[in-house]
């Protein structure tokens, strides 16, 4: 049987450095989605203060239910179409939805096979292929570091607070892990089929076992955890993810774009949410962001809040090119510094433009200026 999928790579801007951005494998992938993700990536990467341009790639291939061999074959087909357009100083791929260490390993292996080189053309590699310690957890941890820095600035903390999270993939799992480290209580997660509310706090060992090892649906979570309830997607009230019905201090959308609309925002506001911080890329719709702004809810935009992932990807690139390795503690310390600097730089921009706590505008202005200045400096 021959199976055909469409794959893309959008190289959007390389004023600050080589194109850099993840690869997504999901049936919903279209060129339009990848274009907005690549556009966002330009400014996110600029906000990190590191020298990388912006790109995104992906395919409408659905990895669900496929064997390891089928996944490998698809990764090889994808790389054989793109290897000529990428390079360690040209365009460096990375992970995203449906692309984790397994897929990255196969993509890397095919590049090596085709070019006879061990160039670092992709990040989030398995450790055995030159991956960085702390990369898998970087996006989720970075999201929580950013949010904690933001809260400290207004004399608040996550400690002891109820938090809701959507998603149950790489970003969501590590956000939950870091919330526990800081003494917060994460009580929800979700996947494409439904949502879990566990008032005792999400059982992280069970979640990791289900999602990372068994690659199973969250419906099995309730069978092993009596304190939890499961709501199927078909039963979501008004089509809005059930996790946003749960009263919380902090909400972290960590699944996908446009997952938190106006209706969800109203529920969160009615339940007195204090802060919403985006782990996913553009999960909050424009109208929902407006509502949060109107009600003075603190809001951490994705291009700042989830930039820890791509930042540690750059640490992976630098370790590869120097043939040196950072310890997990070193990576974590650098990640904390990067997230704290991101917040400080955005806040400075907000002050400069009299934007108070409008971090959305602050982040956009900061990223835009860095890219524009680099473009102007290179001549037109
Ligand atoms: P994963 O593939 O590991 O997990 C994705 C999670 O979101 C899964 O729980 C999945 O459910 C759920 N999901 C995906 N699509 C949908 C959908 N259409 N409707 C409902 N649920 C959905 O991806 P990541 O955790 O890596 O990525 C999550 C988000 O974070 C994405 O927006 C990504 O762009 C962003 N991001 C990721 C970074 C990274 O380093 N990985 C860095 C910065 C941002 P199911 O298990 O059923 O498939
Ligand atoms: O959206 C993102 O920043 C990512 N998926 C990570 C990209 C990367 O190159 O590590």
> What is the pLDDT at residue 254?
98
Which of 139, 257, 303 to probe ligand 2 with, by most ligand atoms within 8 A of CB? 139
- Tokens standing for residue 113: 């096979």
Strand order in the sheet with 194-198: 188-190, 194-198, 228-232
Q: Which ligand is nearest to the CA of 42?
A: 2
Measure Cα distances from 122 to 23, 34, 96, 159, 334 in Å.
10, 17, 12, 36, 20
Q: Residues 56, 125, 178, 347: which is the catalytic one? A: 56
> What is the pLDDT at residue 151?
98
Q: Is 293 a catalytic residue?
A: no
> What is the pLDDT at residue 82?
96
Q: What angle do CA 136, 364, 340 make, to 5 degrees?
A: 50
Residue 16 reports pLDDT greater than 90: yes
Q: Which ligand is nearest to the CA of 102?
A: 1
Spell out the residues 6+ positions from residue 250 whose beta carbon is closer than 8 angstroms to its own: 147, 158, 161, 162, 163, 164, 184, 273, 274, 275, 276, 277
What length does the chain have? 380
Name the closest-CA residue to atom 15, ligand 1. Answer: 256
Cα of 54 from ligand 2 centre, angstroms: 10
The whole-angstrom separation of Cα 292 and Cα 265 is: 7
Residue 111 reports pLDDT greater than 90: yes
Cα of 215 from ligand 2 centre, angstroms: 21
> What is the pLDDT at residue 305?
98
Return the sign of the alpha-carbon dihedral for residues 48, 335, 203, 215. Answer: positive
Closest listed residue to residue 96, CA positions, set 32, 9, 180: 9
pLDDT averaged over every residue in the chain:
97
The minimum-distance atom of ligand 2 relative to the CA of 95 is 5
Question: Percent of the chain scored above 70 by pLDDT?
Answer: 100
Cβ proximity of 163 and 184 under 8 Å? yes
Q: What is the pTM of this model?
A: 0.98
The whole-angstrom separation of Cα 357 and Cα 339 is: 17
Cβ proximity of 23 and 75 under 8 Å? no
> What is the pLDDT at residue 319?
98
> What is the pLDDT at residue 173?
98
Q: Please tell me whether residue 371 adopts helix, strand or coil conformation.
A: helix
Tell me, using a 6 A CB cutoff, whether residue 38 lines ligand 1.
no
* Diameter of the chain measured on Cα atoms: 63
**Average pLDDT of 90-109?**
98
Q: Which ligand is nearest to the CA of 170?
A: 1
Tens of pLDDT along 152-162? Answer: 999 999 999 99
Residue 363 phi, psi (nearest 5): -65, -40
**Average pLDDT of 127-131?**
98
- Tokens standing for residue 93: 């791929």
- Predicted confidence band at 57 (pLDDT cuts at 50, 70, 90)? very high
Tell me, using a 6 A CB cutoff, whether residue 20 lines ligand 2.
yes
In terms of DSSP bridges, do strands 7-13 and 54-59 run parallel, antiparallel, or are they unpaired? Answer: antiparallel
> What is the pLDDT at residue 14?
98
Tens of pLDDT along 235-283? Answer: 999 999 999 999 999 999 999 999 999 999 999 999 999 999 999 999 9
> What is the pLDDT at residue 1?
82
Tens of pLDDT along 331-380? Answer: 999 999 999 999 999 999 999 999 999 999 999 999 999 999 999 999 97
Cα of 136 from ligand 2 centre, angstroms: 11
**Average pLDDT of 220-230?**
95
Which of 256, 261, 307, 315 to probe ligand 1 with, by most ligand atoms within 8 A of CB? 256
Cβ proximity of 360 and 301 under 8 Å? yes
| Between 252 and 1, the higher pLDDT residue | 252
* Local structure of residue 50 (DSSP, 8 states): S
The whole-angstrom separation of Cα 360 and Cα 300 is: 7
Cβ proximity of 243 and 188 under 8 Å? yes
List, as one string, the DSSP characters of 253-316: E-S-TT-B-HHHHHHHHHTT--EEE-SSSS-B-HHHHHHHHHTT-EEE-HHHHTTHHHHHHHHH
């Amino acid at each position: 049987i021959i199976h055909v999928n469409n794959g893309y790579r959008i190289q959007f801007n390389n004023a600050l450095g080589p194109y850099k951005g993840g690869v997504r494998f999901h049936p919903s992938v279209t060129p339009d989605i990848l274009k907005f993700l690549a556009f966002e990536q330009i400014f996110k990467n600029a906000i990190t203060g590191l020298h990388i341009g912006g790109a995104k790639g992906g395919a409408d291939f659905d990895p669900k239910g496929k064997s390891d061999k089928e996944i490998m074959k698809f990764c090889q087909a994808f790389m054989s179409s793109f290897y000529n357009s990428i390079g360690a100083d040209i365009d460096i791929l990375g992970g995203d939805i449906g692309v984790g260490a397994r897929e990255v390993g196969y993509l890397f292996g095919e590049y090596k096979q085709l070019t006879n080189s061990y160039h670092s053309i992709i990040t989030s590699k398995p450790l055995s292929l030159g991956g960085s310690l702390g990369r898998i957890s970087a996006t989720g941890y970075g999201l929580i570091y950013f949010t904690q820095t933001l809260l400290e600035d207004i004399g608040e903390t996550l400690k002891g607070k109820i938090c809701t999270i959507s998603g149950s993939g790489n970003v969501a799992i590590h956000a939950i892990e870091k919330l526990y480290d800081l003494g917060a209580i994460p009580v929800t997660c979700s996947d494409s089929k439904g949502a879990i509310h566990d008032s005792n706090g999400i059982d992280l060992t069970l979640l990791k076992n289900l999602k990372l090892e068994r690659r199973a649906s969250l419906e099995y979570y309730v069978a092993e955890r009596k304190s939890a309830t499961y709501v199927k997607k078909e039963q979501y009230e008004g089509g809005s993810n059930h996790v946003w019905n749960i009263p919380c201090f902090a909400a972290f959308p960590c699944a996908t774009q446009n997952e938190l609309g106006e209706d969800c925002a109203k529920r969160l506001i009615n339940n007195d949410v204090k802060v919403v911080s985006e782990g996913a890329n553009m999960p909050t719709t424009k109208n929902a962001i407006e509502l949060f702004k109107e009600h003075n809810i603190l809001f951490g935009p994705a291009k700042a809040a989830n930039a820890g992932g791509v930042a540690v990807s750059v640490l992976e690139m630098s370790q590869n090119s120097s043939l040196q390795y950072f310890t997990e503690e070193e990576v974590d310390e650098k990640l904390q510094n990067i997230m704290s600097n991101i917040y400080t730089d955005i806040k400075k921009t907000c002050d400069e433009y009299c934007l108070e706590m409008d971090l959305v505008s602050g982040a956009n202005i900061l990223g835009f200026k860095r890219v524009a200045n680099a473009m102007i400096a290179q001549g037109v």
